[in-house]
Amino acid sequence: MGTTISRIIHYLILLIGFLVGLGVFGIELSKLTVVFGALGVGIGFGLQSVVNNIVSGLILLFTRPINVDDTIEVGNIMGEIKQIGIRSSILRTRQGADIIIPNADLTGGQVINWTYSDKRRRIELPVGVNYGSEPRKVIEMITAVASAHPRVLRYPPPQTFLTEFGDSSINYELRVWTDDALNWYIIRSELAVAIYDAIHASGMVIPFPQREVRLLKDNEA
């Protein structure tokens, strides 16, 4: 915010200096009105997008729907805001790329701010376990594995639900919260591996779709 304000002050000083300079050289501003008017029309069409982005930058500055270090999602791009400038902002993706986004895209389009009200994000993970396993034990085991993860929040607590009886498995869904919204997919992967290990250590199985085919032979007459 301090950088943006300093830039605005810098441009205002330049404008005031330009106007004062015209007065020093005896140039009357009233005589330049027509010239400035014609130039303004021509330049205006060419600078519409620039002005739009500057106005959008001021909106971001004063309304603050997005702040530095927020984790946002614009279209299919997700990352962390590293800088908010007067015309554009910089978004750093998980791949380490810095993407320059015009401010008008942040105020005029749909933006998902995962950290607007707080830093938490919910993670869902489906899990299928073989028939013959005790659902209550499965729920207790999956929940315990999630509770042991260092980046899973204790509140709201992890929850596991039995969602359906599938064709090849009893299906569950684990729901946890983390305050590391940018790296949620890493946490999800770590939970999946830990649950896989726990299921196999307990003697249960993560099944795959199977079909049983029976061939019947007609009796000869």
Q: Confidence band (pLDDT; 50, 70, 90) for 36?
A: low
Res 27 pLDDT > 70 = no
> Which pLDDT does position 51 carry in this prediction?
73
- Provide the whole-model pTM: 0.65
Res 114 pLDDT > 90 = no
Closest CA to 151 of 110, 117, 121: 121
Closest CA to 84 of 95, 73, 69, 96: 69
Q: Please give the CATH architecture assigned to the domain spanning 121-201.
A: 2-Layer Sandwich (3.30)
| CATH number of this structure's domain 2-113, picked from the four choices 3.40.47.10, 1.10.287.610, 2.30.30.60, 3.90.800.10 | 2.30.30.60
Question: In sequence order, what are the residues at sequence separation of 6 or more whose Cβ sits closer than 8 angstroms to the Cβ of residue 216?
Answer: none
- 2-113 and 121-201 agree in CATH topology: no
> Which pLDDT does position 204 carry in this prediction?
87
Q: Note the pLDDT tens digit of each residue in 164-187.
A: 998 889 999 999 999 988 889 999
> Which pLDDT does position 214 carry in this prediction?
75
Average pLDDT over residues 192-206: 92
Cα angle value 101/102/105 (rounded, 5°): 90
Q: Which residue has the tokens 């899973």?
A: 152
What percent of the chain shows pLDDT beyond 90?
A: 39
Higher-pLDDT residue of 80 and 55 is 80
Q: Are 178 and 151 in contact (CB under 8 A)?
A: yes
CA–CA distance from 207 to each of 5, 27, 131, 132 (Å)?
60, 85, 9, 12
3-state class (DSSP) for residue 78 = strand
Domain positions in the chain: 2-113, 121-201
Higher-pLDDT residue of 193 and 15 is 193
Q: Confidence band (pLDDT; 50, 70, 90) for 75?
A: confident
